[in-house]
Structure 1
Amino acid sequence: MFTIMNAVRTGIAALALLALCGQALAQSGQTQPDVTDPHFKIAPGYLRQSELPNSLLLLGPPPEPGSAALARDEEARKATIPLRNTDRWKLAYTDADLAFPQAADNFSCAMGFKIDEEQTPRLYAMMQKTLSDFGLSTYGVKNKYNRTRPFVAHNEATCRADQEAILRGDGSYPSGHTAAGWGWALVFAQINPERSNELLERGIAFGQSRVICDAHWQSDVDAGRIMGAATVARLQTNAAFLADLKAAEAEVKAAKAKPATPMPDCAAEAAALSER
């Protein structure tokens, strides 16, 4: 069964290891991937294609039919069935929306203030730019294997009927949504360390929303966290990102000193996240 410790071991340990690798994570000679999810085209990223971590080197193939790994995926999917049509299912619905401002709202409660274009413009723009980097990092393996998603394999519905047409043509492994959510959580924890526990917990839950939504297998989510962490490690060498990071730290400090602005319903979010 999935636990927070699993995510920490998969994501944070991967980040620590990959941070030591630096430039070794860059791709060489890889062509521009066929990106089918429009969320990852919202804004140009910080990294060139040749600078993105190479999922073909960092990840193995998805679980094979009849394997213990696939059995684990099936058990994780079955464990989320009681959550369908609950408040946790509704939260998975909003987590699936990577468009803005919803993507920023998804992390505002964990950050402790509202992330928006007016109060934190550099942080808001940084979210949009890194979204492309996180998403694109997954497409080497995603396009190679084009794994069938669980809702297709089981002839079910996801929490987002409006996204299913795109999902059917977009490989399941690894999860780009998870790469973004975990990557954002790591960056936010770097910017606002006093809220690191809340932010990392939210990043973990963001990935698990993809399993709850029936849009991804658990192994897709695990692999997505690796790619998100790898991308964050690579971004630490990018001058434009580091400049925006510094500016975002100043915005966060100023936002925390101001009176509270209207926020998403954080109590409702916390209640939904407590559902297991």
Structure 2
Amino acid sequence: MVVPAAHAADHADPAPRWLSAITFAPDHAFASPPAPGSLEEKLDLDRLRALIAASSPERIAQADWDGEHKEPAIFDKALGKDIATLPHTLALANLVQDEVERVVAAAKHHFRRARPFMVDPALPHCGKGEQALKAYPSGHSAFAWSVAWTLAQLAPDRAAALMAKAQDYTLSREICGVHFATDVEAAHGMATAAAQALLSDPRLAPMVAAARAEWPAH
């Protein structure tokens, strides 16, 4: 059985352990973000201003809560089970999360995009975003889409609920004013591709099989 590592932030060397470092290199896995001062950046900001203005206090509070909870357990309701009771499924989800975080860490360092509230200091935000050039891509969004995709392959009857949860969770990053829509979308594409690559990796086949065995109806 493969034992997943701690998350990438805990590593001195965040290079991927399982994913191809070439395929998932920043200039292969991502398009460049909108340039500062560009029309595309303006459209990103216009969307954020409208979205935040239209969000209720309850939805903003939820977005703040989501930002503090970056773990597979956020999918318990969508999954219909407590993932903590499924050790092999949880181990697989953790491994996927760790690998995706490694790709994101390299991309953030490569692209060095300012967060929305740094571009527009008047933009309301949840108050916890780092004053650092780490907007692109969104790490929370990459986590959500990769884990949702992984769980959906194990429990396909829960796929719609899992994807809906991932979509709502990633929208929280915009409502919190810490990511642009383009940060979120860049994470979506990479995360889905990364999760599928990991699930298809023959080196991880025993781990995937053990997770699947916890879902005998599928």
- Measured against the shorter chain, the TM-score band is 0.7 to 0.9
Separation of aligned partners in 2, 1:129 and 1:158: 31
CA contact (8 A) 2:150 2:196 kept: no
Closer/same/farther in 2, CA of residues 87 and 243 from structure 1, 3 Å limit: farther
Please name the residue that 2:138 is paired with: 175
| Structure 2 contact 100–143 (Cα < 8 Å) conserved | yes
Identify the match of residue 202 of structure 1 among 165, 169, 176.
Answer: 165
Q: Select the residue among 59, 78, 91 that pairs with 1:125.
A: 91
The alignment partner of 2:21 has SS state of helix
1:52–1:231 CA contact under 8 A, matched in 2: no
Post-superposition offset of 1:209? 1.2
Contact 1:181/1:203 (CA < 8 Å) preserved in 2? yes
The reply to whether residue 92 of structure 1 matches residue 67 of structure 2 is: no
Matched, 1:104 2:72: yes
Matches within 5 A, 1:11-30: none
Give 1:191 deviation, angstroms: 0.6
Partners of 1:198 and 1:55 lie apart in 2 by 30
Map Cα deviations across residues 92-141 of structure 1 (whole Å, 9 max, x no partner): 22322345xxx23311111111211xx11112222222212111112333
- In structure 2, the partner of 1:191 is 154
- For the residues of structure 2 that align with 1:42 and 1:206, how far apart are their CA atoms? 24
User: Does 1:247 find its partner at 2:210?
Assistant: yes
The one of 8, 18, 26 aligned to 1:40: 8
Secondary structure in 2 aligned to 1:231? helix
Change (3 A) 1:193 1:182: same
Distance 2:142 2:33 in 1: 16
Letter in 1 for 2:106: G
Checking the alignment, whether the CA contact within 8 Å between 1:46 and 1:238 is kept in structure 2 is: no
TM-score (normalised: structure 2): 0.82
For the residues of structure 1 that align with 2:53 and 2:20, how far apart are their CA atoms? 41
Q: How many residues align?
A: 209
Q: Which amino acid aligns with 2:116?
A: P
> Following TM superposition, by how much is the alpha carbon of 1:53 offset from its aligned partner in structure 2, in angstroms?
1.5
Please give the TM-score of this superposition, normalised by the length of structure 1: 0.67
2:29 aligns with one of 58, 61, 66 = 58
Residues 248, 83 of structure 1: alpha-carbon distance in 2 compared, 3 angstrom cutoff: farther
State the alpha-carbon separation in 1 of the partners of residues 197 and 136 from structure 2.
21
Q: Secondary structure at the match of 1:96?
A: helix
| 1:75 aligned to which of 36, 46, 71 | 46
Rate the CA distance shift 1:125–1:170 in 2: closer, same or farther, 3 A.
farther
Q: Alignment partner for residue 142 of structure 1, among 99, 108, 111?
A: 108
Q: 1:113 to 1:153 in 2, by over 3 A?
A: same
Query: Counterpart amino acid of 2:92?
Result: M
Contact 2:138/2:179 (8 A) holds in 1: yes
Counterpart contact for 1:143–1:171, Cα < 8 Å: yes
Q: Percent identity over the alignment?
A: 26
Give the secondary structure class of the aligned counterpart of 1:186: helix
Give the equivalent residue in structure 1 for 2:190.
Answer: 227
Q: Tell me if the contact between 1:211 and 1:218 (Cα under 8 Å) persists in the aligned partners.
A: yes
Tell me: CA distance 1:79–1:50, structure 2 relative to 1, closer, same or farther (3 Å): same
The whole-number CA distance in structure 1 between the counterparts of 2:46 and 2:77 is 31
Give me the whole-angstrom Cα distance separating, in 1, the residues matched to 2:216 and 2:42.
Answer: 46
Residue 68 of structure 1 deviates from its aligned partner by: 3.0
